[in-house]
Chains A and B, each alone.
Chain A
Amino acid sequence: MTVPPQAYLVLSAALFTLGTVGVLVRRTALILFMSIELMLNAVNLAFVTLARVRGDLGGQMAVFFVLVVAAVEVVVGLSILVHIFRTRDTVDVDEIDLLRG
């Protein structure tokens, strides 16, 4: 392992930050979902890096379960999104404010 593990972790932090900024600034619900995927992947990279550093497969198991949960989240989230689009004709998160008090 010639590249120091810290480099991987800094890359992971950068990807996580990009995902966070995406969630903060975008208004299209689809792109919000993709930003969340970006954050999940950044965390996965950190898990794999630490699994490699410690020589422990537990980190890779965590990534496996994150993959499963991400798949479930995308399926349910996108079907809710399609449903919202059918009834409201928009996927702009600023327009979807039925629950506003």
Chain B
Amino acid sequence: METLLFVVSAALSLLGGVGVVAAREAVHSALSLLVVLGALAVLYLTLAAEFLAVLQVILYAGAIVVLFLFVIMLLHARDPERRPSPVSAQWALAIPLGLLLWAVLAYASFELPGAAQPLPQGFGTVESVGRELFGTFLLPFEVASVLLLVAIVAAVVLGSAPSRAQTASPRERASAGGRR
């Protein structure tokens, strides 16, 4: 059963990963990313990380992918130029290098000794993760909340800037236009 789940989820996540990299449209990339995230959530369940599987679905699939889709719709509706990409040389270089990287990483992962140990009761549930989070990792947790606050402020400042951008834009536009 676990083997079947692993094979199906691994195949789905690899297919989705190829889709993210190779899709022509950004929307297709985002949907492929969604497939990867869902498959990884299943794998987290098989690895006794229930809380993280739920977080993965809510945070990544729910929030981040939706954010991506919003920005894609915002940008690409107005992005008319779609030239053929001149990157075949880049592909030809990147694929062997990627295979090399994968070989090195896979070789390193086979150095892992032994099989899994038996788990304590309730490993990876909300309760155990919460106890760990508010015990050992309390300070990083608080710092993470400050980091999220900084991100909110940054998003508001960057997002509400059109008036300033318009006053500063003639010079920007001139330099951008001169370059084309």
Contact = CB atoms under 8 A, between A and B. Distances in A.
A12 B39 CA distance: 12
Contact of B18 (A1, A11, A18, A67): A18
B64 A70 contact: yes
Interface of B: 2-3, 6, 10, 13-14, 17-18, 20-21, 23, 26, 29-30, 33, 36-37, 40, 43-44, 46-49, 51-52, 55-56, 59-60, 63-64, 67-68, 71-72, 74-75, 78-79, 81, 85, 87, 90-91, 93-95, 97-99, 101-102, 105-106, 109-110, 112, 114-120, 123-124, 128-129, 132-133, 136-137, 140, 144, 147-148, 150-152, 154-155, 158-159, 161-162, 165, 169, 172-173, 176
Given A11-B10, A60-B124, A71 B63 contact: yes
B26 A30 contact: yes
Given A17-B102, A53-B117, A86-B165, A81 B26 contact: no
9 contacts: A7-B6, A18-B20, A60-B124, A63-B52, A65-B137, A67-B59, A78-B68, A83-B161, A87-B165
B17 A14 contact: yes
B115 A31 contact: no
Given A6-B109, A25-B94, A74 B52 contact: no
Most buried by A among B3, B26, B37, B74: B26
A68 B152 CA distance: 12
Main secondary structure of the interface of A (DSSP, over half): helix
Contacts of A9: 105-106, 109, 112
Contacts of B20: 18-19, 22, 31, 34-35, 38
Nearest to A40: B60
B125 to A, nearest CB: 10
Contact of A72 (B49, B102, B148): B148
A86 B99 CA distance: 38
Contact of B47 (A48, A58, A80): A48
Interface in A56-99: 57-58, 60-61, 63-65, 67-72, 74-76, 78-83, 85-91
A49 B47 contact: yes
